[in-house]
Each structure stands twice: as structure tokens, then as C-alpha cells.
Amino acid sequence: MSTHPPVAIVTGASRGIGQAIALRLARDGHAVAVNYAGHRTGADETVAAITAAGGHAIAVPADVSQADEVAGLFAAARRAFGRIDVVVNSAGIMSLAPLAAGDLAGFDRIVAVNLRGAFLVLSHAAREVADGGRIVALSSSVIAKAFPGYGAYIAAKAGVEGLVRVLANELRGRGITVNAIAPGPVATELFLTGKSEQQITQAVQATPLERLGTPEDIAAAVAFLAGPDGGWINAQVLRANGGFA
């Protein structure tokens, strides 16, 4: 049996949910490749927190919508740690616009990061994750709500859920699980930016637990799927949302 820690890649891990996932997986014993696109300071802080606690981590820049940069991310993780056991695709963006506005540039950007990015990360994970490993993608519970203005975001996240189910079937025989986590409203910059106090209050009231989720709530769900207790969960979407949807 190998004495080396399992190795995880977490995309979008410089802040918010991705950062919490990286910290939690490190706490659970994983060496972590902390991916970021534009927030280098946050990635460095994540790595510093992991190493200060006795763990192992590196920060790796990569825009998940760019094929060569995703390839570089996986190559950097393998160079640093020798193997890849867990991949969590948490990178994502969100902007809101009604379909009637015809914001094609906004639509293309959301699809590029949230869906094309997921496709690229999952594709590399399928080739590079060790047998018996774990692949987790981030979706969203807003899919079930169909709120006005969320068309592009929902379309991209629905596509992510489709990719997860297909990949789980394609990896038959290798003991690799492929699942999605669909958070509800979580108190992150991504969720809070551009929302009024009334909109935030409505989100809280729509949740039976009467609070927004925390990044740590979602990280705990990812840790379950990435750990030994999640080994029989495959091709599923876990809606970690406090009852929001």
C-alpha cells in the first residue's frame, strides 16, 4: 500500500466554495493542486493555510475554458505529486440577463467557463484519475427553480449534470465514481454580488433551514463523495441546498 497521500485537483479554489473544498480535502489528508484563474492572492492564501496545517499544496493558474491551460493544470499536479486521485471542478461564473435581452456575449462566456470548462476538466480527469478515484463537478440547485434571468447559467449547469452521468457510464470497470454537487444559495461573492437585501432575504425564506449555506457546507458534501464513505454513490446529483429545491 502506498504511503503517499491521495492527490486532489480543485478548480476555482482561490475563494468561495472552491477554496473551502481545497481546505477540507487537505484536512482529510489530500495533497491539493489549488487552481485559480485571476485571483492569485487567494490561491496563495489557500496554499499557505494548507501547508501551515502540515499539508501539501501548490497553486496552479489555469482558465478552465482553455484546453491548453487545463492540460497544463493536470500536468503540474502530476509533476508535483506523482498521481491524481480526485478532481473537483468548482470553477464557475454567473451573470444574469433575461433571454429577451439577447446577450450573446454573456451567454458565450458563461457557457465557455461553466460548460466547456467542465467538459475539458472532466475529459482530462477521465484520462488521468487513478483507478478507484473520484470526480466531482459543481452544478446548481437553481436548475429546479427556473428563475427569470438565469437562463444561460441554468443551461450550462444542466449540461454539466448531463456530462457527469455520461462520464460515470464511460468509466465502467475502473472503480471511479463521477457525481455532481448542486448547491443552493450559498453566502459567497458569486451569489451575493448584484443581489438586493430583499432578494437575499427571499432566498433565506425559501430554505426550510432558514439560512444561506456556507462554503463549508458544500465542502463537507464534496468530502463525503471524495472519501471512502462515498464509494457506492455514482452518477448522482447531490442537491446540497438545505431544502431550497
CA dist 173 → 110, 149, 202, 238 (Å): 33, 41, 45, 23
Other C-beta atoms within 10 Å of 227: how many?
16
Which DSSP category does 234 fall into? -
Asked if 133 and 112 count as a contact pair (C-beta separation under 8 A), the reply is no
Query: What size, in residues, is the chain?
Result: 245
Choice among 81, 153, 191, 244 that is catalytic: 153
The answer to whether residue 153 is catalytic is yes
Tell me the three cell numbers of residue 120.
475539458
Which DSSP category does 210 fall into? -
DSSP β-ladder status, 177-181 and 134-138: parallel
Q: What is the DSSP string of 97-145?
A: --GGG--HHHHHHHIIIIIIHHHHHHHHHHHHSPTT-EEEEE--GGGGT
- For residue 152, the SS3 value is helix
Q: What are the catalytic residues?
A: 153
